[in-house]
Amino acid sequence: MKEKSKVIQFDYPLFDAIPPEVEDITAIYLRVSTDMQAQEGYGLDTQYDKIRKYCEAYEVPNPVVFVDDGYTGVNDHRPAYQKMLELMHKGRIKFVITYSLDRIGRNQMLILKFLKEECVKAGCDFLAVKDNIDSRSKQTYGILISILSIFAEFDHDAIVEKLTLGRKQRALDGYWKGGGVPPFGYYYSKEENNLVVDPEKGPLVKKIFHLYNSMEYSPRQIADIVGMSSDVMVFGVLKNRTYLGEITFRGEQYPGKHEPLIDEETFRRTQEILRKRSVIRGDSHYLLSSLIYCGVCGAKMRYMKWGRGKSQKLKILCYSKYASSKSYLIKDPNCSNYTYDADEVEENVVSVIMDFAFKYREELSNRVITEDEVISGLLGRMDTLKQEYNRLIYAYKKIGDDDLLDQAADVDAACKKLEREIAEEREKQTYTKQIEENENMLRTLPDTWGVMTAEEKQNVIRSLVSKVELKHGEIKVYLNKTQYEKIVLGVVDQE
Distance of alpha carbon 418 from alpha carbon 381, whole angstroms = 8
CA angle 387, 388, 392 (to 5 degrees): 115
What span, in angstroms and rounded, lies between the C-alpha atoms of 133 and 143? 10
- The answer to whether the CB of 353 falls within 8 A of the CB of 478 is no
State yes or no: is 33 an active-site residue: yes
* Alpha carbon distance 423, 400 (integer Å): 34
Smallest distance, Å, CB 335 to Zn ion? 3
- Amino acid letter, residue 105: G
Interface with Zn ion (CB under 5 A): 294, 296-297, 299, 318, 320, 335, 337
Pick the catalytic residue from 5, 33, 289, 324.
33
Residues pairing with 313 in the sheet: 306
Q: Smallest distance from the beta carbon of 223 to Zn ion, in angstroms?
A: 36
- Comparison of 337 and 348: residue with beta carbon closer to Zn ion: 337
Q: Are 446 and 357 in contact (CB under 8 A)?
A: yes
Is the Cβ of residue 234 or residue 299 nearer to Zn ion in the bound state?
299
Sign of CA dihedral 48, 52, 53, 54: positive
**Min dist. Cβ of residue 486 to Zn ion (A):** 20
Minimum separation from the CB atom of position 97 to Zn ion (A): 58
89-121 burial code (b ≥16 CB/10 A, e <16)? eeebbbbbbbbbbbbbbbbbbbbbebbeebbee
DSSP annotation of 17 reads: G
Nearer to Zn ion, 288 or 385 (CB): 288
In the complex, least distance from residue 469 CB atom to Zn ion, rounded to whole angstroms: 11
Q: Which residues contact 342 (CB under 8 A, 6 or more apart)?
A: 286, 288, 303, 313, 314, 315, 316
Tell me whether residue 366 or residue 494 sits nearer to Zn ion (CB atom). Answer: 494
Strand order in the sheet with 301-306: 301-306, 313-318, 340-341
Nearer to Zn ion, 10 or 322 (CB): 322
Shortest spacing between CB 344 and Zn ion, in angstroms: 18
Choose between 51 and 299: whose C-beta lies nearer to Zn ion. Answer: 299
Residues annotated as catalytic are 33
